[in-house]
Amino acid sequence: MSIYLQATLEIEGTGMARFTDIMGEALSILESVGWKLNAAYMHCTGRLNTVIDHWELEDMNHFDRGMQALMGHPRFPAIHQVLGETVRNETLVFMQKFDYPRR
């Protein structure tokens, strides 16, 4: 059964281009271990420079495998530095699929 991860990232306004570029690298690493980015959104109203990523994972252990792959990658120090400089706040929420009964 899949588990879903919602990552809400508040980005420094001046860091959006650097954040977007480095996330392209992180995305490739995470996808190489089976993480699936179902969608990425950016706020148009409300708190601007907020990005929401919806990931599909195999299970809760898959999250750890993805983090280990990312942290073990030779590019991780550069990725970590840019994220540390551009991400103001991060909230991770794990979710399961839910359906409303149709009437």
Domain ranges of the chain: 3-49+58-95
Q: What is the CATH number of domain 3-49+58-95?
A: 3.30.70.100
The predicted-structure confidence for 64-76, as pLDDT tens digits, reads as follows 999 999 999 999 9
* % of the chain exceeding 90 in pLDDT: 98
Please give the model's pTM, rounded to 2 decimal places: 0.91
Backbone phi, psi, residue 100, to 5°: -85, 140
- Average pLDDT on 89-95 reads 98
pLDDT of residue 25: 97
Could you give the CA distance from residue 103 to residue 94 in angstroms, rounded to a whole number? Answer: 28
| Per-residue model confidence as pLDDT tens digits over 35-52 | 999 999 999 999 999 999
pLDDT band at 1 (very low <50, low <70, confident <90, very high): confident
List alpha helices for the chain, DSSP H.
16-32, 60-72, 76-86
CA distances (Å), 84 to each of 13, 36, 40, 68, 89, in order? 14, 23, 20, 18, 10
